[in-house]
Structure 1
């Protein structure tokens, strides 16, 4: 069973699939993403694989309309992005710059191909890391969902960006970047991108990555910007992992513009939501966060940004980074 169910109260689609409950949980003696498995074979460096427990499919059956509630075909694609043949790496900072650039190029190529598919409205590229997040397989990997709708959070971002552009004649994200570059929350920057903790952070060590050039999709990045994105992804993850001298569990999302329509006021960006507030303390999204979508920030963002900068300086030379830490 695969279907989309519409929540008329929030204006949000819910993806429903019975097959996802069959996902394996951290198998000990077998990894489906390692070279030589049935799915991967040999001789590759990065891979885009079909998710065997996909909630979306381009072959999803059509649905009959019934009653008050609205349902739709769960049409689309769920894929796994296998980032390296090496099983025992922990995070992106352990990839070489060359290997990380290949991952970014895979993101770009997948975006390019799916933009041509008339069934796809939006591509969500994301990464879950750590048992605390619920990651079922430990081999380094990300995920891609090609969606037939624009997610609610993205629609809110689009609405605010559109309104700001109408009022002020400027990109909201470009203005945010301009403001952040003036302050004390910038963690790292290279020629093409900036890593910073936003003024409005929700999570204790939340960081964002913005391109300095105003672009909407990964496909618009040139070769130098592609390498710089690989560089800053390594620095971002290395900084988070150095913060408490342990692997940081997190969720990472890449936000591109939707495929259908025109969004010149939108700006490509990446957000990391780290789960820890201290070495052995998790920041839980509880009552006010889940119930009202309103976050409380336990601390002072500028103080936590300072800790992130110190962590960045620790890994800067190790990663042979291309940019600079303030």
Structure 2
């Protein structure tokens, strides 16, 4: 197919800041609103099928610029990992008549051992089967298949929830490099009942080697329950 696509860099503030946890609450909220608005604009191009949004923090995570920024890549295909995730979610829905991500949220909230923080509309959990220690997932509590439906007030709520968690991660792991990825429904896939947008934060707490690259098997040295406990303890006190 033709090499069609869009690559954008979102500069997140005018000041020279290298850590998104140093942004003000409103600056971080504006980052989340910008993701939404660029997705809405790119959806008008019929050549594009999917928008990938990601952020690299630190050289170990692939950041070539220190100034905090995100990248927005729109492609005419749905990436392979996204297709696999969608297929798995659709198969679960066919079997259980429920969204797998809604079930994850319900079970994590009921159990509590992997919950790091939550707000009225969002929850942050350590991943049950992490690729790297301290891997975090941020999910809407209610079913939301499309990130583009995020409201302005929800963007601020998301910023207020995530920023203290990122600071706790910096404190517990001595400011590790990390990536975050926004997973959402492809542009022309409607609003499926089986899929739920979420943000994955992947700290580079280990270096992938032969087992990881060659076979897709990941080893973690910290149980997610322990990681969540440490991160909760490092959250700043709320007056």
Question: TM-score if structure 2 supplies the norm length?
Answer: 0.94
Q: Which runs of 4+ in 1 moved over 4 A?
A: none
User: Is the contact between residue 134 and residue 222 of structure 2 (CA under 8 Å) also seen in structure 1?
Assistant: no
Matched, 1:147 2:70: no
Once residues 147 and 166 of structure 1 are traced to their aligned partners in structure 2, the CA distance between those partners, rounded to angstroms, is 28
CA-to-aligned-CA distance 1:268-315 (integer Å, 9 cap, x gap)? 100011012xxxxxx011111111112122232211221111122xx3
Once residues 316 and 293 of structure 1 are traced to their aligned partners in structure 2, the CA distance between those partners, rounded to angstroms, is 39
Once the two structures are TM-superposed, the CA of residue 94 in structure 1 deviates from its matched residue by: 1.1
Once residues 129 and 309 of structure 1 are traced to their aligned partners in structure 2, the CA distance between those partners, rounded to angstroms, is 22
* Equivalenced residues, count: 237
Matched, 1:260 2:183: no
Once the two structures are TM-superposed, the CA of residue 247 in structure 1 deviates from its matched residue by: 2.1
1:188 corresponds to: 117
Once residues 136 and 316 of structure 1 are traced to their aligned partners in structure 2, the CA distance between those partners, rounded to angstroms, is 34
1:94 corresponds to: 22
Once residues 46 and 165 of structure 2 are traced to their aligned partners in structure 1, the CA distance between those partners, rounded to angstroms, is 34
2:175 corresponds to: 247
Q: Could you tell which deviates more after superposition, 158-167 or 213-222?
A: 213-222
Matched, 1:129 2:57: yes
* TM-align CA RMSD: 1.5
User: Is the contact between residue 99 and residue 196 of structure 2 (CA under 8 Å) also seen in structure 1?
Assistant: yes
Matched, 1:228 2:160: no
Question: TM-score if structure 1 supplies the norm length?
Answer: 0.70
1:302 is paired with a residue whose SS is helix
Once residues 230 and 299 of structure 1 are traced to their aligned partners in structure 2, the CA distance between those partners, rounded to angstroms, is 26
User: Is the contact between residue 91 and residue 237 of structure 1 (CA under 8 Å) also seen in structure 2?
Assistant: no
Once residues 139 and 199 of structure 1 are traced to their aligned partners in structure 2, the CA distance between those partners, rounded to angstroms, is 32
Once the two structures are TM-superposed, the CA of residue 170 in structure 1 deviates from its matched residue by: 0.6
2:8 corresponds to: 79
Once the two structures are TM-superposed, the CA of residue 248 in structure 1 deviates from its matched residue by: 1.8
1:243 is paired with a residue whose SS is helix
Matched, 1:306 2:235: no
Once the two structures are TM-superposed, the CA of residue 134 in structure 1 deviates from its matched residue by: 2.8
Once the two structures are TM-superposed, the CA of residue 224 in structure 1 deviates from its matched residue by: 2.5
1:146 is paired with a residue whose SS is strand
Out of 292, 297, 307, the position equivalent to 2:215 is: 292
| Structure 2, gaps ≥5 residues long | none
1:157 is paired with a residue whose SS is helix
Tell which structure's C-alpha radius of gyration is larger. Answer: 1
2:35 corresponds to: 107
Once the two structures are TM-superposed, the CA of residue 316 in structure 1 deviates from its matched residue by: 4.6
Structure with larger RCO (C-alpha < 8 A, sep 6+): 2
CA-to-aligned-CA distance 1:164-211 (integer Å, 9 cap, x gap)? 111111100000111111220100011110001021222111000001
Once residues 52 and 213 of structure 2 are traced to their aligned partners in structure 1, the CA distance between those partners, rounded to angstroms, is 21
Distance change (3 Å), C-alpha of 1:191 and 1:145:
same
2:181 is paired with a residue whose SS is strand
| Structure 1, gaps ≥5 residues long | 1-71, 277-282, 321-326
User: Is the contact between residue 192 and residue 211 of structure 1 (CA under 8 Å) also seen in structure 2?
Assistant: yes
Q: Could you tell which deviates more after superposition, 198-207 or 76-85?
A: 198-207
Once residues 10 and 189 of structure 2 are traced to their aligned partners in structure 1, the CA distance between those partners, rounded to angstroms, is 27
User: Is the contact between residue 90 and residue 247 of structure 1 (CA under 8 Å) also seen in structure 2?
Assistant: no
CA-to-aligned-CA distance 1:103-124 (integer Å, 9 cap, x gap)? 1111110011111110111100
